[in-house]
Amino acid sequence: MVQTIAKRGSMPTTDKPTYDEMFDDAGAVRAAYAGYNAWYGAQDHGWLRKQPREAERVFRRTGITFNVYGQGDGEERLIPFDMVPRIITAIEWRKLSRGIEQRVRALNAFLHDVYHRQEIVRAGKLPERLLRVNDAYLPEMAGFVPPGGVYTHIVGVDLVRTGPDEFMVLEDNARTPSGVSYMLENRETMMAMCPELFTRARVRPVGDYPRRLASSLAACAPPATQLRQGERPTVAVLTPGIYNSAYFEHAFLADQMGAELVEASDLRVDNGRVAMRTTRGWKAIDVLYRRVDDEYLDPLTFNPPSMLGVPGIMDVYRAGGITIANAPGTGIADDKAIYSFMPDIVEFYTGEKPILQNVPSWRCSEPDSLKYVLEHLPELVVKEVHGSGGYGMLIGPTSSKKEIAAFEAKLRAKPENYIAQPTLALSTCPIFTKSGLAPRHVDLRPFVLVSPNGIDITPGGLTRVALKKGSLVVNSSQGGGTKDTWVLED
């Protein structure tokens, strides 16, 4: 049964035509999608329509769920999976990965600098205030070099596309980026449901990410523990527990790496090392891949009233007894206030022009910018500097007058807490709907591993898609879905 595929609808919020990943402006299928399109045309419509439910059943059974904050306790939800892959050509990927590599190099150099001589401040490229008055900046890290000199062992770079050659960085995730399990499970699901698709297109594999992660983390073990001959470093994944929204991912990665999945209550400082309580006694950990925020790491250092965390872990860390990935204090690099300086930061540390552009941003802390932002609220996206997850933001074009007014009051009260960006014409990629393919806005989060051996970018990533027509919010906590992401071979 052949269906007609028409390019339908474009985003109502902008004058600029939206770039569609699958169809060009004339409605013809782009070369990268030719194989997929031929396959799609040959499928039985009824079968196709049944597949999303089938995928959902598999996800439920396997437990690929996440918990939503603010919902009924312990409720587990699925992130909707869409069966149309997001396809990236080899040429596009080459450029993207060069840009990502450059940016991640700069992020690590920046982190080393802000916790040491702060040359960038001395050079007048970054206001000192942004470091001084910033919760993400940890004075405890000053003067300390993490093992191997690596700050951001795992980075997720959020990219959006606005045109054929226009990829922009929307956000750097340098603390504890999540979503990589979806990259892996989405591929598994695609291969299970439509194996023949992979004979039509040569898609680069992503499945060895856990192995790469394990060896990248092991390569960052503290020198003192590397002396043991022929023994692999002990790696553990630290999770807040089964009620955390990303618990599935924590368990998944630990399982795939063959590492222990620990909670803070399993750990204590023992003999100058951080050790986990095993059935045989206390066992020292060399590398801790932590999926908890800085403030829950060590109550002695960061959050005295808190019972959470491992008392004394920061002392062990600073004495070289453990590697913490990502390093505490990396949040300063993905702070939204710092973000607007990223083009300068990249150039300052690499001596090169940035390959990937930033989204133009107005810093509301600057009077001129604030004035502009206040005058143009209905057309801008305003983001909280210390927020994450899309909770504390305003999307001007889709907000009511009342919502805008309420936000304006917040903005006027604390302008330094906000930056503003134009509403971007994010590219679209088709999704399955009951009435065939329909375009929806997407972003892309590739995953990057950093070790003393270099920067390793997995060819693929997590494509998030706004399932509501015209919506620009792709966050899974706000009703977004995900797609399998293909990077094609040369």
Partner 1 sequence: MLGRSATGIFWMFRYLERAENTARLLDAGFRLALTRGDTASSAEWRSVLITMGLDSQFADKGGEYTGAHVCNFILRDKENPDSVLAMIEGARTNARMVRTAITRQVWEGTNEAWMVLKDILARPVRETNLGEVLDQIRRYATLVRGAMDGTMLRNDIFNFARIGTFVERADNTARILDVKYHVLLPSVAWVGSSLDHVQWETVLRSVAGERAYRWLNAGGMDARGIAQFLILDGRFPRSLAFCYEKLRSNMGSLAREYGGETHAHELLRDAVSGLHQASIEQIVDVGLHEFVVDFIASNMRIAKAIAQDYRFYE
Cα separation of 239 and 247, whole Å?
Answer: 7
**Four-residue CA torsion sign, 77, 56, 212, 480:** negative
Contact 221, 57 (CB under 8 A): no
Selected range binding partner 1 among 218-226, 261-269, 297-305, 465-473, rule: CB under 8 A:
261-269
Does position 366 interact with partner 1 (CB under 8 A)? The reply is: no
Q: How far is the CB of 231 from partner 1 (least distance, A)?
A: 18
Q: Please, are residues 183 and 485 in contact by the beta-carbon 8 Å criterion?
A: yes
User: 301, 314 in Cβ contact below 8 A?
Assistant: yes
408 phi and psi, to 5 degrees?
-60, -40
The answer to whether the CB of 380 falls within 8 A of the CB of 423 is: yes
- Site string (66-105) toward partner 1, x via CB under 8 A: ----------------------------------------
Residue 147, token pair as written in the block: 């093992």
The torsion region of residue 169 among left (phi > 0), alpha (psi -120 to 50) and beta comes to beta
Among 25, 94, 135, 265, binds partner 1 (CB under 8 A): 265
* Residue 355 neighbours by CB under 8 Å, 6+ apart: 95, 98, 99, 102, 103
307 binds partner 1 (CB under 8 A): no
Distances in Å between the Cα of 269 and the Cα atoms of 217, 374, 420 are 21, 51, 44
Q: At closest approach, how far in Å is the CB of 242 from partner 1?
A: 5
| 154 touches partner 1 (CB under 8 A) | no
Retrieve residue 326's tokens.
């990502």
Distance in Å, CB of 168 to partner 1, minimum: 37
By CB under 8 A, residue 270 contacts partner 1:
no
Q: Is 60 in the site for partner 1 (CB under 8 A)?
A: yes
**Is residue 287 a contact point for partner 1 (CB under 8 A)?**
no
Under rule CB under 8 A, how many of the chain's residues touch partner 1?
22
Q: Which is nearer to partner 1, 57 or 371 (CB)?
A: 57
Token couple for 269: 């400082």
Q: Which is nearer to partner 1, 3 or 62 (CB)?
A: 62
Q: Nearer Cβ to partner 1, position 260 or 347?
A: 260
54 binds partner 1 (CB under 8 A): no
Are 485 and 185 in contact, with CB atoms under 8 Å apart? no
Region binding partner 1 by CB under 8 A among candidate stretches 44-52, 274-282, 294-302, 397-405 = 274-282
The owner of tokens 């523990």 is 225
Pick 142 or 242: Cβ nearer partner 1: 242
* Token pair recorded at residue 412: 């006027």
- Does position 53 interact with partner 1 (CB under 8 A)? The reply is no
Minimum CB separation from partner 1 for residue 184, in Å? 14
Maximal C-alpha separation, the chain: 69
Q: Is 262 in the site for partner 1 (CB under 8 A)?
A: yes
Site string for partner 1, 221-260 (x = CB under 8 A): ---------------------x----x---x--xx---xx
| Closest CB 199 distance from partner 1, rounded Å | 26
Pick one of 1, 6, 62, 452: the residue that binds partner 1 (CB under 8 A).
62
Nearer to partner 1, 83 or 261 (CB): 261
Q: Are 482 and 462 in contact (CB under 8 A)?
A: yes
Smaller CB separation from partner 1, 3 or 278: 278
Shortest Å, Cβ 255 to partner 1: 4
| H or E element at residue 251 | helix 247-257
The strand pair at 480-487 and 81-88 is best described as parallel
Question: Residue 303 in contact with residue 309, Cβ under 8 Å?
Answer: yes
Under the rule (CB under 8 A), what is the footprint of partner 1?
A: 60-63, 242, 247, 251, 254-255, 259-263, 265-266, 276-281
